[in-house]
C-alpha cells in the first residue's frame, strides 16, 4: 500500500472510562485504535487493523470492560502510546493520508494525549464523518454511529464500542455517502 492514492484512514478509538468521576489522578487514555483503510476510488474497505495501547495513567474499569469488552490484562499486552503513534505513521501512512472519524472525539483524544511528549501521528486532513452524514441526510441532530447505520440501512458488524469494529462500520457509512456523492473531496 502506498501513501494516499484515493485511500482514506478511518479511525476509531476506545479509551479508559468510568461510570462517574475518574479515580484521583486518572485520566482518559486511548486503549484501542481501530483503523480501516478505505479505497474511495474503488468503493471498498481494503484493510482492517487493531492496535491495543497500554494506558500509563489509568486502568480499565469494570464499566469500561462492560462497554468495550476490553480488559486490563488485554491492554497490558498492548504497545505504549508513543509506539502506537509511530506505528500509525509508519504502517498506515497516517501523516500523509486523509483520515476520518465519527465526530471529533477521536481527533481531540489524540491531540490531548500527544500534547505531553508524543508526536501527533496524523496530518491536517481530517473529516468529521458524523457531520457529513447529518448534512447529507438533512438531520439537525448528529446521530451516533449505530443510529446512522440504521438510517442508512446498513448492519452493525461486530461489537459496538470496539475500535476495530466501529472503524469498519464507519467506513461502510463513508462508502455509502461516497456512493451518493456526499463525501467531500479532501485536498
Q: Which residues contact 63 (CB under 8 A, 6 or more apart)?
A: 17, 18, 19
Q: Which three cell numbers stand for residue 144?
A: 451516533
CATH superfamily for 7-179 is: Ribonuclease H-like superfamily/Ribonuclease H (3.30.420.10)
* Predicted local confidence at residue 1, as pLDDT: 38
What is the CA angle 159-160-165, rounded to 5? 65
Closest by alpha carbon to 109, among 24, 34, 187?
A: 34
3-state secondary structure of 73: helix
What is the spatial distance between Cα 169 and Cα 175, in angstroms, rounded to a whole number? 10
Closest by alpha carbon to 47, among 171, 159, 163?
A: 171
pLDDT in 10s for each residue of the chain, 187 residues: 345 579 999 999 999 999 999 999 999 999 999 999 999 999 999 999 999 999 999 999 999 999 999 999 999 999 999 999 999 999 999 999 999 999 999 999 999 999 988 999 999 999 999 999 999 999 999 999 999 999 999 999 999 999 999 999 999 999 999 999 999 986 5
* Predicted local confidence at residue 130, as pLDDT: 98
pTM over 0.85: yes
Amino acid at each position: 500500500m502506498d501513501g494516499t492514492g484515493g485511500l482514506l484512514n478511518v479511525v476509531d478509538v476506545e479509551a479508559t472510562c468510568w461510570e462517574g468521576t475518574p479515580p484521583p489522578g486518572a485520566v482518559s487514555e486511548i486503549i484501542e485504535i481501530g483503523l480501516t483503510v478505505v479505497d474511495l476510488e474503488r468503493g471498498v474497505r481494503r484493510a482492517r487493523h487493531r492496535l491495543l495501547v497500554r494506558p500509563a495513567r489509568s486502568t480499565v474499569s469494570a464499566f469500561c470492560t462492560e462497554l468495550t469488552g476490553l480488559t486490563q490484562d488485554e491492554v497490558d499486552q498492548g504497545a505504549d502510546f508513543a509506539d502506537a503513534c509511530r506505528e500509525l505513521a509508519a504502517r498506515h501512512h497516517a501523516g500523509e493520508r486523509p483520515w476520518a472519524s465519527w465526530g471529533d472525539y477521536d481527533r481531540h483524544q489524540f491531540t490531548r494525549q500527544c500534547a505531553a511528549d508524543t508526536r501527533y501521528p496524523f496530518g491536517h486532513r481530517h473529516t468529521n464523518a458524523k457531520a457529513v452524514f447529518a448534512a447529507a441526510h438533512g438531520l439537525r441532530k448528529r446521530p451516533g454511529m449505530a443510529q446512522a447505520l440504521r438510517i442508512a440501512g446498513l448492519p452493525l458488524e461486530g461489537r459496538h464500542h470496539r475500535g476495530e469494529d466501529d472503524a469498519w462500520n464507519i467506513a461502510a457509512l463513508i462508502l455509502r455517502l461516497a456512493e451518493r456523492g456526499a463525501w467531500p473531496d479532501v485536498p
